[in-house]
Amino acid sequence: MNTPIEPKDQDSLPQIDEQRRRLSKGGLAAPIVLGTLLSRPVLGAAPYNCTISGKLSGNTSSHGQPVSCAIGKSHGFWKNTTEHLGDWGYASLAPDDLFTKPGFSNQYPNSNSGSTSKTMLEVLDLGGGAGSPPYEALGREAVCAYLNAFRFAPDFPLTGAEVVSIFNTTVANGQYIPIPGATPWSPEVVKNYFESLHDS
């Protein structure tokens, strides 16, 4: 038979650290706050799912529905300088600015002089694919993504600097590693990613 334990004298009980008690209470509340923040609908929709991380995770919303990432405008839009010249101003660029002005590597030398690059508009006009150097289609889509990054900020999932970095890394290495440990993206995959960020 169990003997009842007599209550101890209050002074002999271990003292509870008030600071630890407050931390414990705060710790219990944190998951509720964090859970509320993570459940915001914006994290399950564009532009989050249109980021590189979102693309790698499958580009689906929190409800499993595909998310359209066509936030920006196509190279056809940007080539129409008669109607959309003002839109170039968001990036502080003009169609006749050199492709290298924003920091792109000189992947497309000017035919008149190997020391300068083609203009932004000339790169938008390039034919060819992205499968092998000089990756003309990748250049077209990089210009497009760069202009869209400024014109549609903050909704566009990349900054202009990120577009330049992705392009330069891809042409220098023949591939782009989107996040450490991920399967490298070929120039074609990078081009397709840029392309997925604008309308047709």
> What is the mean pLDDT for each group of 10 consecutive residues in the chain (200 residues)?
54 51 42 34 52 65 64 93 95 96 94 81 90 92 97 94 97 93 93 92
Say whether 92 sits in a helix, a strand or coil. Answer: coil
pTM, two decimal places: 0.72
Three-state secondary structure call for residue 49: helix
For position 135, what pLDDT does the model report?
Answer: 93
Helix (H, G, I), strand (E, B) or coil at 73: coil
pLDDT of residue 68: 79
Q: Give the integer Cα–Cα distance in Å for 200 and 37.
A: 34
Give, for 188, the enclosing helix (H) or strand (E). helix 187-196
Name the nearest CA neighbour of 108 among 123, 127, 124, 121: 123
CA distances from 8 to 12, 18, 21, 178 (A): 7, 21, 22, 62
* Residue in 117, 118, 139 with CA at minimum distance from that of residue 128: 139
What local confidence, expressed as pLDDT, does residue 169 receive?
97
Which tokens hold the place of 78?
């940007």
Question: Does 154 sit behind a cis peptide bond, omega within 30 degrees of 0 on the bond before it?
Answer: yes
H/E stretch holding 109? strand 109-110
How far apart are alpha carbons 128 and 35 in whole angstroms? 47
Give me the phi and psi of 39, to 5 degrees please. Answer: -90, 0
Q: What is the pLDDT of residue 11?
A: 54
> What b/e readout covers 15-24, taking b as 16+ CB neighbours within 10 angstroms?
eeeeeeeeee
Q: What is the pLDDT of residue 50?
A: 83
